[in-house]
Structure formats: C-alpha cells, structure tokens
Amino acid sequence: MDKKEMEKQVIENYQNDERMMVLIYAQWCINNDLDPTTLYEKAYPGQSKNDTLTEALELTVPKKESDEIPDQTVLHVLQLFGNDDLAFVVQEMIENRDK
C-alpha cells in the first residue's frame, strides 16, 4: 500500500467512525424521546443542515427495538470527535431528565 492509498484509507476509516458517532447520538436521542435535529440545532445554531445526521436518522430504529445506549457512551463519542458543544447540550438534557 503506497502513501496515497494509506491516506485514503485513513480518511475513509475516520469518516466511517464519524458516521457511527452520529448514529450513536441519533439513536440515543430516539431512546430518550428527544429530537436529534433540535438538539443539534441548539448546539450549533445557524449551521446548515447536517447531511450525516439526516442519513443516520434513516438508520435508527424505534426505541423499543434498540439496545440501551449509556449516557456516558454518547458523551464520550461526541467529545472524541470534537463535538463539545453538542456534548454540552446532551449533558444538559441528561441533567434535566434526572431531576
């Protein structure tokens, strides 16, 4: 594998991981009766439509068909990909839910 192929593979792996992060976030929202798009817009006001989120929403399943996604898991993956603003909004939702 030459350098160009390796770079391409690294980019593809990152993009796949990023899509998985968005799917985890979207499914967590569904499982907690939250609208993933609304939370995203709260974290990133004025940002254009997120196509990756739209694609992930098509892959989510109803709450009753989903495995539980722990709060810490969604927070961790959001922060891992630099989505600190979204992680902050998710943390607020968790705190409000637990009151």
**Number of independent structural domains in the chain:** 1
Do the domain assignments include residue 11? no
Checking if the pLDDT of 91 tops 90, the result is: yes
Do the domain assignments include residue 3? no
Q: What is the pLDDT of residues 11-70, one digit of tens each?
A: 999 988 999 999 999 999 999 999 999 999 999 999 988 999 999 999 999 999 999 999
Do the domain assignments include residue 4? no
Q: What is the mean pLDDT of residues 90-97?
A: 96
Q: What is the mean pLDDT of residues 73-96?
A: 96
Model's pTM, two decimal places? 0.90
Do the domain assignments include residue 8? no
Do the domain assignments include residue 73? yes
Give the burial string for 25-58 (b: 16+ CB within 10 Å, else e). Answer: bbbbbbbbebebeebbeebeeeeeebeebeebbe
Task: Give me 85's structure tokens.
Answer: 């603003």
Do the domain assignments include residue 68? yes
Do the domain assignments include residue 13? no
Do the domain assignments include residue 85? yes
